Amino acid sequence: MVLPPAIVLAQSAYRYRDANGQWVFTDQATATHSAQAIPLAHEPPALRISVDRSDTPAATQLIAANDCLCVATVRIAIVDSDFPRIPRGATYQATLAPAERHVLVESPRPRSDPLQLRFTLSTALGSPKAVHSPVHPYRAPFALGSTFTVSQAYPSRATHITPDTQYAVDFAMPDGTPVYAAREGTVINVRHDSFRGAPAPAMIDQANFILILHDDGTIGVYGHLQWDSIRVRIGQHVARGEYIANSGNTGFTTGPHLHFAVWRNAGAADVSVPVEFAGSGGIAVTPMSDVPLTAY
């Protein structure tokens, strides 16, 4: 997952109704429709996982900070360095509890003038000791008795080509369909303010989402959610079957759908794991591409 910078951006959106009476959201006013301006505030994300540099006359430290509500693994790779004890190409990694700080590496300063130290940062959410062990099959994440077609599931790899999406399940849903928690847990991050979506990789960080930490340390991911529809807050415990948001068409997407996945920390990155959903009589059902699934 890409962690956006912790800043506040003020912007405006516009909305108007099309010929079918549906709301259309855009970032530009239009002369052909009577558009309403909507002020937006991009809130700082709750997932604040960072590595900061600390300099003293005697030494330099790189300090990892985990301000997420869950355990997280932080890994850095040194890109360029003027410090002999922090060589280019070296990697440093630590797993931090919530609110923990940890010195990843420390080096004496070989001279007093400014020294370059550049690195890349990657993170993985949840404990690397987590074992995916749900007590029951997952509840289909939509209203009981309703049926939606699985538009993509393993082994299909049309767009699910990365480890964190390999076992994700996409449900073809109209924009605005209620989404329900597939499993109980604690909300650790949300985004609600994006109204943009397009089949372009540049839109990957524009998806609205909810991340829910399960009691076995895995994380449920609900993506491409509708603008301003999220009904839960960070730190809230949600029950299985609780109404949490509406499906949408935000981010890197070819059309309205719900992206659902379960992640576990594989040590240096989050990977998705296979999931099964509750069928009639509680029988476990494996999702399959182009096959309808009913919520029980």
pLDDT at 13: 47
The rounded distance, in Å, linking the Cα atoms of 100 and 90 is: 23
C-alpha distances (whole Å) from 144 to each of 36, 118, 172, 243 are: 35, 51, 16, 11
pLDDT of residue 218: 97
For residue 144, give every residue at least 6 positions away whose Cβ sits within 8 Å of its Cβ, in sequence order, or none: 241, 295, 296
Buried/exposed code over 136-147 (b: 16+ C-beta within 10 A; e: otherwise) = ebbbbbbeeeee
Task: Read off the tokens for 237.
Answer: 């415990």
Residue 195 is predicted with a pLDDT of 86
CATH placement of domain 147-294? 2.70.70.10
Length of the chain as a residue count: 296
What pLDDT digit, counting tens, does each position of 124-143 carry?
A: 999 999 999 999 999 999 99
Give Cβ neighbours of residue 278 (< 8 Å, ≥ 6 apart).
Answer: 136, 137, 138, 139, 140, 284, 285, 296
Q: Give the separation between CA 177 and CA 92, rounded to whole angstroms.
A: 43
Instruction: Check: CB of residue 287 under 8 Å from CB of residue 275.
Output: yes
Give the end-to-end CA distance of the chain in Å, rounded to a whole number: 31
Cα–Cα distance measured from residue 237 to residue 186, given in angstroms and rounded to the nearest whole number: 4
Q: Where are the domains of the chain?
A: 9-42, 49-125, 147-294
pLDDT of res. 5 = 31
The helix (H) or strand (E) run that includes residue 124 is: strand 117-125
Q: What is the pLDDT of residue 8?
A: 30
Phi–psi pair at 147, nearest 5 degrees:
-130, 135
The pLDDT of residue 126: 95
With a cut of 70, list the residues of the chain below it in pLDDT: 1-46
User: Which pLDDT value is given to residue 113?
Assistant: 83
